[in-house]
């Protein structure tokens, strides 16, 4: 009997998923655990592996289609089996098959970190050989197997790697995309383990290639860019944005960072940045002004009893906002480690759904660019967001004398339906005070 393929439910709040691509065509053979299709939810790309083996009999949806969770999107079975010509709707096995979403690791792999078959015939190989081939970016079909019926063993992969000319390390999926897009893998900077090129690197390289002089380039708005566009429009249309700015003297923050740099790096292996100090200071100010740490849900204003900060991270195709939980309870060393790790996962497109939800306030830092200030768009359902501009030396009056100080501008955008001007101004003033006297964060 043909087996249903359904849109998985990856979180308790997920209602739909966007189908980005199929890795198989109708009539192709499929094995258990083989990546079958890729979806997007909450701006995360997830490759979904097959629960069953057989022939892909039917695909009901295509690229960029939004599908409700647990909705049947295809069938796997024996060649020639009859299946419905139209999508039958919600899976009849919804209750049983939705369960893996609570612990998705066995079936879900972050996009760019898994392989998919490129040919119809999957080479015979031991699990150890497959793992090594993935790690080294080697196509198993290029390896001569020494086992029964040509089965590839780990030693065969090792021998192939040692005897083959050095070439760019890449996942099979990255090679497939590169071949289709005409991208030279040797010219692509890999972001995967040991510098391996993953699919996202190829897409990024293709995106940054300038069009030929005198021509225009077009590409369909899809995937992450489409989700970002929809959310930005929704936020601006539903929430009346008001933005306040304040200039901060960062002299003492620079002193604090300089003194803590070797301490934090020794504990964590990471360098303390201004972002982590800003996060800690923001959490302290939010704790003293809880009326800013709120969300609007229907006709109710929810005042949060914790500070979960969203941290805007630029990625190849747009922007992700991973969440760092319970910032108020963490020291600068732990925050540095958390921020660096989750930013890396965002850039490598390896975030899990739980790492993208639950934020109560967001920080967007463009201080690495020549931007003094900007008006950030609120990350709903939050009610406020903090924009951080660059730090630069400026002449300022200090106790009646002119001095050169490192100054930085903060921009607070807030939803005027929920937050009034006076509380917002009080919060921004509090944050300024904390940053200009940052040593209190250590006590």
Q: What are the tens digits of pLDDT across the range 51-78?
A: 888 999 999 998 878 889 889 999 999 9
Let me know whether 133 and 74 are in one domain. no
Active-site annotation holder among 82, 393, 420, 433:
420
Please list, in sequence order, all residues whose beta carbon lies within 8 angstroms of the beta carbon of residue 12, skipping any fewer than 6 positions away.
Answer: none
Task: Tell me whether residue 250 is in a domain.
Answer: yes
pLDDT digits (tens, 9 = 90+) for 77-115: 998 888 888 888 765 444 333 334 343 433 444 433 333
Number of domains the chain is built from: 3
416 is catalytic: yes
Cβ distance 55 to 239 under 8 Å?
A: no
Active-site annotation holder among 131, 326, 393, 416:
416
pLDDT digits (tens, 9 = 90+) for 214-268: 777 777 776 677 788 888 999 999 999 999 999 999 999 999 999 999 999 999 9
Cβ distance 17 to 67 under 8 Å?
A: yes
pTM of the model: 0.64
Please, where are the H alpha helices in 304-404?
332-347
Let me know whether 300 and 432 are in one domain. yes
420 is catalytic: yes
Let me know whether 199 and 255 are in one domain. no
Task: Tell me whether residue 213 is in a domain.
Answer: no
Of residues 412, 438, 440, the one with CA closest to residue 427: 412
Rounded to whole angstroms, how far apart are CA atoms 28 and 38?
17
Domain limits for position 18: 3-118
Neighbours of 368 (CB within 10 A): 12
Let me know whether 108 and 154 are in one domain. no
Let me know whether 130 and 114 are in one domain. no
């Amino acid at each position: 009997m043909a087996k249903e393929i359904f849109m998985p439910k990856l979180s308790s709040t997920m209602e739909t998923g966007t189908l980005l691509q199929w890795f198989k065509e109708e009539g192709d053979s499929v094995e258990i655990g083989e990546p079958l299709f890729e979806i997007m939810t909450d701006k995360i790309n997830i490759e979904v592996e097959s629960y069953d083996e057989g022939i892909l009999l039917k695909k009901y949806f295509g690229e960029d289609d939004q599908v409700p969770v647990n909705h049947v999107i295809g069938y796997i079975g024996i060649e020639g089996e009859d299946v419905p010509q139209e999508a039958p709707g919600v899976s009849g096995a919804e209750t049983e098959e939705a369960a893996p979403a609570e612990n998705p690791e066995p079936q879900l792999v972050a996009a760019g970190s898994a392989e998919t078959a490129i040919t119809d015939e999957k080479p015979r190989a031991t699990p150890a050989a497959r793992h090594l081939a993935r790690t080294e970016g080697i196509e198993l079909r290029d390896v001569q197997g020494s086992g029964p019926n040509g089965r590839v063993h780990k030693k065969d992969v090792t021998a192939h790697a040692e005897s083959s000319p050095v070439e760019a390390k890449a996942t099979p999926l990255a090679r497939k995309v590169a071949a289709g897009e005409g991208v030279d893998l040797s010219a692509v900077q890999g972001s995967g383990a040991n510098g391996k090129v993953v699919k996202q690197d190829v897409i990024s390289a293709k995106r940054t290639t300038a069009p030929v002089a005198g021509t225009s380039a077009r590409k369909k708005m899809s995937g992450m860019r489409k989700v970002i566009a929809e959310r930005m429009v929704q936020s601006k249309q539903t929430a009346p944005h008001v933005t306040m700015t304040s200039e901060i003297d960062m002299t003492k923050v620079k002193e604090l960072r300089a003194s803590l740099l070797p301490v934090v790096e020794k504990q964590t292996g990471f360098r303390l940045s201004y972002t982590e100090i800003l996060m800690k200071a923001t959490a302290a100010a939010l704790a003293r002004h809880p009326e800013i740490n709120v969300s609007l849900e229907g006709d109710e204003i929810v005042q949060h009893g914790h500070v979960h900060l969203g941290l805007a991270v630029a990625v190849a195709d747009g922007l992700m906002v991973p969440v760092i939980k319970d910032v108020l309870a963490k020291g600068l060393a732990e925050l540095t480690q958390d921020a660096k790790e989750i930013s890396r996962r965002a850039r490598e497109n390896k975030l899990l759904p739980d790492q993208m939800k639950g934020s109560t306030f967001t920080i967007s830092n463009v201080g690495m660019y020549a931007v003094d200030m900007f008006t950030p768009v609120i990350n709903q359902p939050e009610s406020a967001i903090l924009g951080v501009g660059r730090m630069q030396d400026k002449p300022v009056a200090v106790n009646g004398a002119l001095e050169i100080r490192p100054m930085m501008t903060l921009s607070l955008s807030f939803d005027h339906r929920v937050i009034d001007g006076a509380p917002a101004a009080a919060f921004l003033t509090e944050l300024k005070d904390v940053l200009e006297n940052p040593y209190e964060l250590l006590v």
